[in-house]
């Protein structure tokens, strides 16, 4: 008779350990085998079998980049990328909970389907701003701007979490077309407008600005974002390497923003910032 602490199914325990180790990241198979095998004192083939089973079940998927093989969560099924946000393919069925925000994303060429850590970090930042801040940004008439919208997933998440209307801009015509299709798929085409409008032609105010972009663009946009956002508005930034965090924070602090949330995944950083109120005399 097994002891009370022994798992009923050792193979399932190994699979669960693999899933917990990966989390929302992607890892080389060799690292997974070494970590799980060493921790549980298992032979290599037992961990390999668990990985094979998880790939066959659609829980994990192999990806290839720069000649290296990685394992990551499969996005051919519903994937919870934040506490409340779940991304699912159009044809899949998902039994959502009362607090879940379910976003259907079509497979396509545009960035922002949830596979990359920067997208997941940005979605977690949007969720934090709209559900856990002391003064939520969602109120009647509120708008979100998603710069470099890709699939449109950040703006759609914000609208589904309470922002009244969203604007997504992207210079890539493929992204504009795919974001519009995703808006229709989620019945948000009346509340989420997508266009190729240049950022220089945008005017505020916005309760929330989201930008999953690389460092030079984020730094260049800081004064514009400050001009579009009133005190109390929020900004969610992603696409930032760990070593770039200080540069981004300093640039936005100089525009009267303060950091309210940050998270790290796979050497990337996501940030949420809030515009400080300006006191008499012109200083925040």
Task: Work out the end-to-end distance of the chain between its first and last CA atoms, rounded to an integer number of angstroms.
Answer: 68
pLDDT in tens, the chain (284 residues): 444 444 457 888 898 888 888 876 778 899 999 988 888 778 888 899 999 999 888 888 888 777 888 888 887 888 888 999 999 998 888 888 899 999 999 887 778 778 788 999 999 999 999 998 655 566 778 999 999 999 999 999 999 999 999 999 999 999 999 999 999 999 999 999 999 999 999 998 999 999 999 999 999 999 999 999 999 999 999 999 999 999 999 999 999 999 999 999 888 999 999 999 866 555 55
Same-domain check for residues 197 and 117: yes
Note whether residue 93 is domain-resident. Answer: no
Q: What is the total count of domains within the chain?
A: 2
Note whether residue 227 is domain-resident. Answer: yes
| Token representation of residue 115 | 């596979």
Same-domain check for residues 155 and 62: no
Give the strands of the sheet with 85-88, arranged side by side.
Answer: 79-80, 85-88, 101-104
Same-domain check for residues 130 and 259: yes
Report the pLDDT value the prediction gives residue 93, as an integer from 0 to 100: 83
Place of tokens 């969203």: 166
Question: Phi first, then psi: what are they for 220, rounded to 5°?
Answer: -65, -35
Same-domain check for residues 220 and 128: yes
From CA 82, how far away is CA 101, in angstroms rounded?
10
Note whether residue 239 is domain-resident. Answer: yes
Residue 11 parent element (H or E) = helix 10-22
Same-domain check for residues 26 and 135: no
Q: How far lies 201's CA from each of 169, 224, 269, in Å?
A: 11, 11, 28
Same-domain check for residues 60 and 140: no
Same-domain check for residues 148 and 267: yes
Residues 6 or more apart whose Cβ sits within 8 Å of residue 219: 247, 248, 251
From CA 119, how far away is CA 168, in angstroms rounded?
15
Same-domain check for residues 146 and 240: yes
Note whether residue 283 is domain-resident. Answer: no
Residues 6 or more apart whose Cβ sits within 8 Å of residue 46: 11, 14, 37
Residue span of the structural domain in which 254 resides: 101-275
Report the pLDDT value the prediction gives residue 137, as an integer from 0 to 100: 61
Place of tokens 């097994």: 2
Same-domain check for residues 151 and 37: no
Note whether residue 137 is domain-resident. Answer: yes
Same-domain check for residues 66 and 108: no
Whichever domain contains 43, its CATH number is: 1.10.10.10
Question: Which SS3 state, helix, strand or coil, does residue 98 take?
Answer: coil
Note whether residue 266 is domain-resident. Answer: yes
From CA 127, how far away is CA 59, in angstroms rounded?
24
Q: The whole model's pTM is what? A: 0.80
Whichever domain contains 120, its CATH number is: 3.40.50.150
Note whether residue 80 is domain-resident. Answer: no
Residues 6 or more apart whose Cβ sits within 8 Å of residue 5: none
Report the pLDDT value the prediction gives residue 3, as an integer from 0 to 100: 46
């Amino acid at each position: 008779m097994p002891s009370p602490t022994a798992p009923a199914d050792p193979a399932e325990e190994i699979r669960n350990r693999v899933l917990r180790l990966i989390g929302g990241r992607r890892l080389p198979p060799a690292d997974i085998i070494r970590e799980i095998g060493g921790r549980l004192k298992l032979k290599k083939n037992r961990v390999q079998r668990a990985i094979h089973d998880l790939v066959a079940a659609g829980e994990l998927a192999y990806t290839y980049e720069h000649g290296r093989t990685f394992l990551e969560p499969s996005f051919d099924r519903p994937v919870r990328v934040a506490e409340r946000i779940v991304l699912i393919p159009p044809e899949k069925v998902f039994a959502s909970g009362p607090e879940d925000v379910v976003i259907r994303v079509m497979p396509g060429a545009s960035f922002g389907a949830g596979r990359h850590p920067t997208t997941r970090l940005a979605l977690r930042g949007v969720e934090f701003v709209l559900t856990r801040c002391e003064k939520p940004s969602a109120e009647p008439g509120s708008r979100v701007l998603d710069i470099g919208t890709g699939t449109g997933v950040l703006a759609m998440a914000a609208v589904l979490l309470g922002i009244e209307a969203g604007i997504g801009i992207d210079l890539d015509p493929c992204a504009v077309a795919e974001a519009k299709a995703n808006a229709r798929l989620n019945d948000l085409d009346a509340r989420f407008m997508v266009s190729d409008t240049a950022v220089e032609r945008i005017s505020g105010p916005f309760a929330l600005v989201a930008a999953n972009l690389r460092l030079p663009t984020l730094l260049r946009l800081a004064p514009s974002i400050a001009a579009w956002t009133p005190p109390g508005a929020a900004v969610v930034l992603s696409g930032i390497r760990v070593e770039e965090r200080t540069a981004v924070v300093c640039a936005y602090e100089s525009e009267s923003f303060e950091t309210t949330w940050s998270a790290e995944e796979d050497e990337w950083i996501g940030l949420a910032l809030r515009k400080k109120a300006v006191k008499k005399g012109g200083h925040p």
